Structure 1
Amino acid sequence: MTPGAIAQELGLHRSTVHKLIKRWQEQGSVSTKPRSGRPKATTPEQDEAIVERAQERPLTPVVKYPRDLHLACSVPTVRRRLHTANIKCHVPAVKEVLTPYNKDDRMGIALQYSAEDELFWKNAIFIDEKCFPSVKAGPGVCWRVTKTRYLEKHIFSKAKSGRVSTSLWGWMWAYGPGELLEINGKLTSEQYIRILEDVLLPTVHVMAIPAPHTIHIVHDRSPVHMSRRMGRHTSTSKYMHQSCEVNAKQT
């Protein structure tokens, strides 16, 4: 069969058929030989430096790597090196970083109340306040391997600007959320007690725990919560009992 007939049969150009026939005659195969290709833009040492930077400073944007590491490569090249090392781009967890003291205290409280029965927790009301301030920047990105989201170095800590947008107080219990109240100005122990009497008790009795059952208040160790006035009030209250305190703060 002539090269022209082969080209017509296979729908190829005649010159392509001639090249393949010649390659078969000279090499015994029509496969192309391995090629060297373009040299890599980074050396093995630079690849290692890229991975080390991601491990040491995972919250650093990858666009800063070429400048910081003096690399003559593009940002996509840096991303490829990280992907090769199984380091991917994720949204970091946004949490308050706990100190060893916080962790030990939380474990102690959990053990202290581990023996309480189901009725105790059904009558437990969790209350807290939250300030929502403006922040300087969002969480950005985090370069890490999978299943390491909550390592301390992978957590983004909010940079507060000092301007408070709004403050809220609220309660919840084992079966869902309760009341939410906006706080005007700085919360004092006197204002806090009024909230407990005028907002907490009426809404809890209607939505969750009817009177005369005792309510176990679960809150943190904020100075307002732990004031002497608050202690005297709960000790004499007919319906409220100040129970466990969580989220302890180191002093």
Structure 2
Amino acid sequence: MVLNDYCVHSCSNTNEEESTSAVSELLEANNLVLRGRIVTLRDNGLSVRAIAREVGVSPTTVAKWIKRWEESGNLADMARPGGPRKTTQAEDDLIVAEAEAQPLTNAVAIRDDLRLEVSARTVRRRLHGVGIHHRTPAKKEPLTEQHKAGRLAFAQRHAEKGMEYGPRNIVEVARSGHVTCNVWGWVSLHGMGDVFRIEGRFTAAKNVRDMSFRSELVPEPL
């Protein structure tokens, strides 16, 4: 079984972040154009309601940006105040170091190990901020020699592409050793009857064709 709870972001994550940033910049630019149009229409003598109908926003929004322009001459979004940061830079560094040292850990374990007075969600945000994201553990069957040879060849071709299958990211899980066996039998008020072993998988075809002992299980009149 291969587990990789936390792993450093890949190029695809970087591309996704760049795309999100580009979309945000485009939306901000469109908003500035809309607000500038509101101010221009106001300068041309239109009422607040007429401007709202023209640009497709509420009169409250029109009045807000007209007032902002008259007071500050600024149509950009103002910085939004947030709550105080719950972790220090030193604690952030410890969170990241813990995740990198133990790839099989999780946000709750990191918080408890470091004795942080924050939520697991805060720990996850700190990890996401540096590109470390949760991944669903991958489960793999034990490999045959043919599988191992194929995996080794693949690894050699991709030796420079990360440590997802590195030794510290792999945990071997032993099988239980239990063996199953299909049987056919019967039980009555007088006790348990004979039990017959069924070789291989028990299918409908085998039930009809191969059950030579069925006559032994049919009850006879007393």
Q: TM-score with structure 1 length normalisation?
A: 0.39
Structure with greater strand percent: 1
Q: TM-score with structure 2 length normalisation?
A: 0.43
Q: Per chain length, whose mean CA-contact separation is higher, i.e. which structure has more relative contact order (CA < 8 Å, sep 6+)?
A: 2
Structure with greater helix percent: 2
